[in-house]
Structure 1
Amino acid sequence: MEFIFKDEAFKFETLRPAGFAGDADADIGEVIVTTARIPEGDEDAWTAAWKATAERTAMRGEDSLEAGDPVSAREAFLRASSYYRSAEFYRRQDPLNDPLFLDACADAASN
């Protein structure tokens, strides 16, 4: 598994969430697991992998809220919002007509 992609854009966009780990906007383990699922240069896989991580993390936030733990919920929702942002990054050519972009935005807005 390569943590950092050979593709310069993918490399840079992976370093962004990895860098957020210091401020708890991401978890380095979640970043590594997510990037391991993305084939080199595959923008659709990028979107799908980050969206899946965002959804799992948002669900952890919901579970924490349900369990009466607002601090853990807040932390999970913060990470999820960062992952949703990563998911939509390569969907910017025609975002208003891109169902993957619109779906990721709708998911982020609901959390």
Structure 2
Amino acid sequence: MLFRRVAMFRLPSQLRSIRTSTQCLTELKLTFASSAQAFYNNVAVKQVDVPTLNGRFGVLAEHVPTVGCLKPGIVAVTENDGSVKKYFGTFRLPSTGNSSLSFIINDSG
């Protein structure tokens, strides 16, 4: 009987910690530029979809660091307000870190 009471008291605190952790999600910071212009400079975004030799993949906050060869195509950036901006070009290998993504678009033909 005593164990049941202790377990009942712990349950609400566990629920509070779960609720708190889902409210404080880390943002994905994007740095994306060409030699002439910076499109994003450490800006918080929701998702970035990139073309690779193995297909397209999406990068979200708290993603697992991944290395992949990008191929020419469309990079789609989903901003926090839900709008999507698309950029076409040839991209250099991205640099990923702790909830960050950086890459450069080639502006030579």
Greater Rg over alpha carbons, structure:
2
Higher relative helix content: 1
Normalising by structure 2, we get a TM-score of: 0.26
Normalising by structure 1, we get a TM-score of: 0.25
Higher relative strand content: 2
